[in-house]
Amino acid sequence: MVIGYAYLRSFLPWIVFAVVSTRGDWRYAALIALAVAAWALHDQLAAGRPWDALVIEASAALFLAAVGAFALAVPDSPLRPYAPALAVGWIALTAWGSLAAGRPFTLGIARQATASDLHETALFRRVNSVVTAVWATSFTLTAAAAALLLHEAPHAVLALLAVKAAGFTLPDSSPPGIPPPHGPATDSPALLKPTPAEGTSP
């Protein structure tokens, strides 16, 4: 699956924060990444995507705003070196939290590419629960690996980016039916296939 503009736009705030906070001041990293997150969120809302399809993007903006405020108040916090890992950990908490709340974050994404008569079925929700669990697990493992790397080699920016890239792309290469968190999969199974356009046959 090719990683396109939509994918980069969704995760650009996290990439910016990881790079800048590893090589520089985490206060500036949070503020710069927050500006990028606000732009990405506005861009997708302007394109007509509903809020329930933008859980990860909204979570990014919330996290970066909170971290920015904390970093300004406590710039020398012992948490500072682990900021990139905390960012991925926050995404993991977002994913697990959506499962605990009974609203898997992939539901809103999948609804953008499926027939409306599927949206309230038990199977549709069950599939999305599994999909969300896959991403939540990937985010959790990525956060743990990033924390370990930051402890052992805090300035290994390329290695850190490789770890994060793996966490955000390996599930994207999963079997059909597991859509990426930035948008619907194009190779989804019959349950999740897009509604046929008018004048065409299923």
Answer yes or no: is 48 within a domain: yes
State pTM to two decimals.
Answer: 0.75
- Biggest distance spanned by C-alpha atoms of the chain: 62
Of the ranges 16-20, 59-63, 112-116, the best mean pLDDT one = 59-63
Residue environment code for 70-94, b if the CB has 16+ CB neighbours within 10 A, otherwise e: bbeeeeeeeebbbbbbbbbbbbbbb
pLDDT surpasses 50 at 191: no
Q: Give me the number of domains the chain comprises.
A: 1
Is 65 a member of any domain? yes
94 within domain boundaries: yes
Domain that holds residue 34: 5-184
The answer to whether residue 196 sits within a structural domain is no
Per-residue pLDDT of 61-100, as tens digits, reads: 999 999 999 999 999 999 998 988 999 999 999 999 999 9
In this structure, is residue 199 part of a structural domain? no
pLDDT in tens, 149-164: 988 887 777 887 788 7
Residue 74 domain-assigned (yes or no) = yes
Whether 39 is in a domain gets the answer yes
Residue 194 lies in a domain: no
The whole-angstrom separation of Cα 133 and Cα 136 is 5
C-alpha 73/C-alpha 48 separation (Å) is 36
The pLDDT of residue 36 is above 50:
yes
d(C-alpha 40, C-alpha 99), whole Å: 24
What are the Cα distances from residue 66, in Å, to 33, 59, 91, 105, 156?
12, 11, 14, 21, 25
